[in-house]
Structure 1
Amino acid sequence: MKTKAAVVNAVNDNYKFESLDLNKVGTNQVLVKMVASGVCQSDETFRIGKSEFPLPTVLGHEGAGIIQEVGSGVKNFEVGDQVVMAYDYCGHCSSCRTGYPSLCDHYNEFNVSDGPGQSGEYKFHNEDGTIVHDLQAQGAFSTYTVTNENNLIKVDKDADLRKLGPLGCGFLTGFGTITNSLKPETSSSIAIFGTGTVGLSALMTAVIEGCYPIIAVDIHDSRLEIAKELGATHLINSKNENLVERIDEISNGLGVNYSVDTTGVPEVIESSITVLAIGGESAPVAMTGSKTQINTTQELLLGARKIHGVKMGNAVPQLAIPKLIEYFKNGRFPFDKLLGFYRFEEINEAAADSSSGETIKPIIIIDEEYRKENPIEYKNQ
């Protein structure tokens, strides 16, 4: 069948709409009619060439849609199910079987390589038969896609898919970094560097976990105000203040128990470790091609501090995403305050607004007929 997709053909190219051939559904796959997808900074990292990725490609890995067809081996989904998509994993290696599918032995092969992934077939081709790659076995920037059963999380029929896509990556990463990796004790202190999607989701989770103080660090006052609205107890604009001195003041000279860096800026990562208390723990979670220098004796050994490597929040999407939806319904994880909606044809503008910080979490509406009786407000409306 044919699908309309936003394709990146060369490094730093804009998205270009093309009609692609889409493979038939395989044994353990489903056909999804896409409703919406978040635009993630990882998409931009690959598009502009900060991290290498095979081209041409259909990016998009925060997808949400409705199942149109299921393969003969699919057991837990049926036509008409509303689904959110996350990353793919094998389900059989030691990491998968011990509850860490984000550390799957085949993660890179299935999600970010130039190979065909778990299905063994490339799903997208252009009119002359050229392979068009996809990201995280999704390729969500398309009107239809074929994905694997392991990518899927079923959500209720009454859930609004236009809002839920980012739960599969950005919000999952911030939430899981707190709950699965750092695991802060109630009343422990935390500093969060960068108040974008991942940082603010980590912040909202720190509120749920009862952290205090919760210090938000950024260079944009507008974002810091959102952080305050979401529960930050202290704000630091590191462009105007010395963040190390300010955190020292807030913590009465002790430092913070935990820190999360979402900026990927080497100097900021180093600061996120410097401000730790004795026994403190830090999680740098941003994708970055830059190298960071730290004195392991001074920063880690003498203070018995720890640095956590965290991938996709070390989360099991099928467990974490339903929990996030419940928190959202109960007003405890109000991620909708971060969303800005764009029509599919406005994907290049959405990408630009994501990079500039104009919109914290852009959402591309791919199916404008979905819930048309309950219209949403677009950024350019």
Structure 2
Amino acid sequence: MLEIQAAVARTPSGPFTIEAVQISGPRDDEVLVKIAGVGLCHTDIVFKDQFVPYPLPAVLGHEGAGVVEAIGTNVHGVAVGDRVVLGFSSCGTCPRCDEGLPSYCRTFVPLNYAGQRLDDGSTALAGGDESIASHFFGQSSFASHAIVRQRNVVKVGDTKADLALLGPLGCGFQTGAGGIMRSLACPAGSSLAVFGGGPVGLAAVMGAVIQGCSIIVLVEPVAARRDIALSLGATHVIDPSVEDVTAAIRSIIAQGIDFAFDTTGNIGVIDAAMASLGSHGAIGLVGVPKNADASIAVNIAQVMTFGHRIIGIIEGDSDPQTFIPELLQHHDEGRFPFDSLIKTFPLSQINQAIADQARGDCVKAVLIPDT
């Protein structure tokens, strides 16, 4: 057992507490990673707050990056000293994994949300005699160290980006870019409206530039984020607090947009996005709603008449083993400057980072374990 520092979630809607906890060594199929940095994602917050039931106390965090310190006896292709990004967990053997869609793995939910090892119900973390839920998204990286499954580990070679800042490629930036480059596969010359200018939405803007979209609209109430979108290659921005969004989009492209991408999970926003779609347009949904029972209503005749498509998206339909290296190559060649969106905080200031990110004071917070 190794004593480490971790941010522990103990009560819904309560703060994280920084605690010394114990972490076990890696089992045969596991890897011990020393965390260099971990992204703060909205998903971490909604699970702490019990959007869906999750065992507490828990160490959350699912956008980790760091260096391998130890490996299990059955781990192959990963060595001590490797620099890695930690992605989500998948089985690697089901039909979805076989076709390169591990985010739709048939055991995705238990592997990522159970808070324990599935074979025996144990956790990798403890506070004395108290069990602490681990293996969130297969990693639980709000800590100085994490025990992860081998399939979570993506090796990264030489890159211009700081290792401590790479973690968000494992979820938020991967989701935004992958949603455009993989799920919707927006072709060159197509039109796109992105709803929400947080890290996922701005990654979508960057992905649209890579794809060669001719019209890239960001709908976002925060002026600073609209400005960032324009600097990243958006062709138009809309302030939904002062403009009728659907009318504004149709003033840009009268026949309606080819693709919409919602990162908000807000029903009213999704309704406006769907009303902006042109013939055979598609909307991708990645935003987590505030209520797990939230639903949208569609006019069946209209959806049929115009061939509209509604696509649910998890993790950008990406295979992290190939897509994260691809994004890093785009970064190093100047096409995906994700690190420009990041502000770092010590892990001990996680609650401040949550507040700052919620207010829009920063786009993406990354937590650096305290030394």
TM-score, normalized by the shorter chain, greater than 0.5: yes
Partner of 1:45: 46
2:356 corresponds to: 353
Hey, what does 1:86 align to over in structure 2?
87
Letter in 2 for 1:321: I
- Which residue does 1:175 correspond to in 2? 177
- The residue type equivalent to 2:328 in the other structure is I
Tell me which residue corresponds to 1:143: 144
Against the structure 1 CA distance between its residues 129 and 45, is the aligned structure 2 distance closer, same or farther, given a 3 Å change threshold? closer
Residue 337 of structure 1 and its aligned partner are, at CA, apart by: 1.6
**Conserved in 2, the CA contact under 8 Å of 1:111 and 1:117?**
no
1:374 aligned partner:
none
Quick check: 1:113 aligned with 2:114? yes
Structure 2 CA distance for aligned equivalents of residues 131 and 356 of structure 1: 30
Matches within 5 A, 1:243-254: 243-251=245-253, 253-254=254-255
CA–CA distance in 1 between the matches of 2:265 and 2:326? 28
CA separation in 1, counterparts of 2:325 and 2:134? Answer: 29
Contact 1:173 1:311 survives alignment (8 Å): yes
Instruction: Map 1:190-201 to 2 at 5 A.
Output: 190-201=192-203
Distance 2:43 2:215 in 1: 30
8 Å contact kept, 2:54–2:114: yes
1:292 aligns with 2:332: no
* Corresponding residue for residue 129 of structure 1: 130
Q: Deviations over 1:186-227 (max 9, x none)?
A: 111000000101111011010111101111101111110111
Q: Retained in 2: the 8 A contact 1:340–1:360?
A: yes
Q: What code does the residue aligned with 2:347 have?
A: F
AA matched with 1:40: C
Q: Give the counterpart letter for 1:338 in structure 2.
A: L
Q: 1:133, CA displacement in angstroms?
A: 3.5
Q: Which residue of 1 aligns with 2:240?
A: 238
Listed as ranges, the matches of 1:1-381 within 5 Å are 1-117=2-118, 121-156=122-157, 160-251=162-253, 253-288=254-289, 289=291, 291-366=294-369
**Deviation per residue, 1:93-140 (Å, 9 max, x gap):** 111111111111111111012442468531111112333344111110
CA displacement, residues 235-270 of structure 1 (integer Å, 9 cap, x when unaligned): 10010011111111100x200000000011110011
Q: Is the 8 A contact 2:59 2:132 kept in 1?
A: no
Query: Hey, what's the Cα distance between the residues in 2 that align with 1:134 and 1:11?
Result: 19
Superposed displacement of residue 90, structure 1: 0.7
Counterpart amino acid of residue 279 in structure 2 = I
Q: Percent identity?
A: 35
Runs of 4+ with deviation above 4 angstroms: none
* Partner Cα distance (1:188, 1:93) in 2: 34
Measured in 2, the distance between the counterparts of 1:319 and 1:120 equals 31
Output the CA distance in 1 between the equivalents of 2:126 and 2:21. 6
Q: Provide the aligned C-alpha RMSD in A.
A: 1.5
SS at match of 2:146: strand
CA contact (8 A) 1:35 1:367 kept: no
TM-score by length of 2: 0.95
Distance 1:72 1:120, change over 3 A: farther
In 2, the alpha carbon distance for the partners of 1:233 and 1:254 equals 17
Q: Which amino acid aligns with 2:275?
A: T
Q: 1:4 to 1:207 in 2, by over 3 A?
A: same
Contact 2:91–2:107 (8 Å) recurs in 1: yes
SS at 1:130 equivalent: strand
For 2:237 and 2:6, locate their aligned partners in 1 and report how far apart those are by CA, in whole Å. 41
Q: 1:114 to 1:144 in 2, by over 3 A?
A: closer
Task: Provide structure 1 residue ranges, at least 5 long, that are not aligned to the other structure.
Answer: 369-381
Task: Tell me, in whole angstroms, the C-alpha distance in 2 between the residues paired with 1:275 and 1:340.
Answer: 34
Distance in 2 between residues matched to 1:119 and 1:149, nearest whole Å: 18
Distance 1:66 1:343 in 2: 18
For 1:376, the equivalent position in structure 2 comes to: none
Task: Say if 2:342 and 2:365, in contact at 8 Å, map to a contact too.
Answer: yes
Distance 1:141 1:317 in 2: 20
Whole-angstrom CA distance in 2 between matches of 1:116 and 1:335: 33
Distance 1:73 1:130 in 2: 26
Partner-residue secondary structure (3-state), 2:138? coil
Unaligned runs of 5+ in 2: none
Change (3 A) 1:301 1:94: same
Q: Is the Cα–Cα contact under 8 Å of residues 115 and 133 in structure 2 kept in the other structure?
A: no
SS in 2 for 1:359: coil
- Report the more deviating stretch, 146-155 or 43-52: 43-52
Name 1:373's counterpart in structure 2.
Answer: none
Q: 1:131 to 1:163 in 2, by over 3 A?
A: closer
Distance in 1 (alpha carbons) for counterparts of 2:319 and 2:139: 17
Residue 367 of structure 1: how far off its partner (Å): 5.3
**Contact kept in structure 1, 2:226 and 2:237, CA below 8 Å:** yes
**Pairwise CA distance, 1:299:** 4.0
One-letter code of the match for 1:177? G
2:233 aligns to what SS in structure 1? Answer: coil
Q: Secondary structure at the match of 1:292?
A: coil
